[in-house]
Amino acid sequence: MAAPEPTSGTSPLVQPDLPLPSANTSPRYDPQKVTVVYILGGPGSGKGTQSEYLVRDYGFVHLSAGDLLRAEQDNENSQYGQLIKDYIKDGLIVPMEITVNLLSNAIEDKLGSDGTGKFLVDGFPRKLDQALFFEQSVCVSKCTLFLDCPEDVMRERLLNRGKTSGRSDDNEESIIKRFRTFVETSMPVVDLFEKEGRVITVSAVGSVGEVYEGVVGGLASKGIAPTNK
Ligand code: UDP
Ligand code: MG
């Protein structure tokens, strides 16, 4: 495979487990064998919580972009630790080569021996470049679950979570920045997929159970049924 070609000014990953996907090739995985469903929504919309239920009932492998980045940030051998730390605290989107590489490695790692897999990709793609790059080089997604939530509800949830999460970005200052990034940078991704008819919008206001009912109904409308029930 060709050497990585960073497109947004970062240096190439030093020892990637896999060669970085190239935007000029066809996707690494066939969507007939690898199902990718994105779960998107503003910070605090409940992506992680709903993902737990989806893993239980649908047999998805859960891949949280934020969790993968936090693990990389804490990995002493990573040359990107400080960079990731700074981006997360400021609510900014980490350069896509890093995130796409982490996700691509995680998919490869969790693939069945027959090359199939079902992945719920949480909190990604958050920027148009990531979305296009992932779809062109890793796998075309089946659909996007979009958790629609007003900012005042998200703010309250994040501040509550901040009391115990230990996350550097669950504080007033970071939350304001994350909301701005979500509206300016991430919503255009949802809008693009929406135009392609690939978005399931679910209201994320209410109890976890109420929201989950909407999620299950939305997936059913795309022909995705629970497997573990
Ligand atoms: N992040 C990123 N690229 C991604 C996903 C996350 O750079 O594709 C960074 C970004 O700084 C974001 C932070 O990771 O604000 C936390 O993401 P996470 O999904 O954990 O937050 P959530 O939205 O679930 O509260
Ligand atoms: Mg999350």
For ligand 1, atom 25, which residue shows the shortest CA distance?
43
Residues contacting 102, CB < 8 A, separation 6+: 65, 68, 69, 72
pLDDT for residue 24: 63
Q: Report the distance separating Cα 97 and Cα 88, nearest Å.
A: 16
Q: Assess contact for 132 and 206: CB atoms under 8 A.
A: no
Q: What is the domain count for the chain?
A: 1
Give a yes or no: residue 39 inside a domain. yes
Ordered strands of the 143-148 beta sheet: 61-64, 117-122, 34-41, 143-148, 199-203
pLDDT by residue, tens only, the chain of 229 residues:
444 444 443 333 433 444 555 656 789 999 999 999 999 999 999 999 999 999 999 999 999 999 999 999 999 999 999 999 999 999 999 999 999 999 999 999 999 999 999 999 999 999 999 999 999 999 999 999 999 999 999 999 999 999 999 999 999 999 999 999 999 999 999 999 999 999 999 999 999 999 999 999 999 998 999 997 5
Give a yes or no: residue 151 inside a domain. yes
Query: Is the C-beta atom of 38 inside 6 A of ligand 1?
Result: no
Give a yes or no: residue 27 inside a domain. no
**Would you state the structure tokens that stand for residue 21, as one six-digit string?**
């996907």
Closest ligand 1 atom to 42 CA: 23
Instruction: Give the number of other Cβ atoms within 10 Å of residue 87's Cβ.
Output: 20
Query: Is the C-beta atom of 91 inside 6 A of ligand 1?
Result: yes
Give a yes or no: residue 8 inside a domain. no
Give a yes or no: residue 28 inside a domain. no
Asked whether the whole model's pTM tops 0.75, one would answer: yes
Q: What angle do CA 221, 204, 96 make, to 5 degrees?
A: 85
105 C-alpha to ligand 2 centroid (Å) = 19
Long-range contacts of 16-22 (CB under 8 A, 24+ apart): 16/101, 16/105, 17/105, 17/108, 18/101, 18/104, 18/105, 18/108, 20/97, 20/100, 20/101, 20/104, 21/100, 21/101, 21/104, 21/133, 21/137, 21/138, 22/137
Q: Report the distance separating Cα 1 and Cα 19, nearest Å.
A: 7
Q: Go through the chain and tell me how many residues it has.
A: 229
Give a yes or no: residue 192 inside a domain. yes
Query: Is the C-beta atom of 175 inside 6 A of ligand 1?
Result: no
Give a yes or no: residue 7 inside a domain. no
What residues make up the domain containing 177?
34-220
pLDDT for residue 11: 37
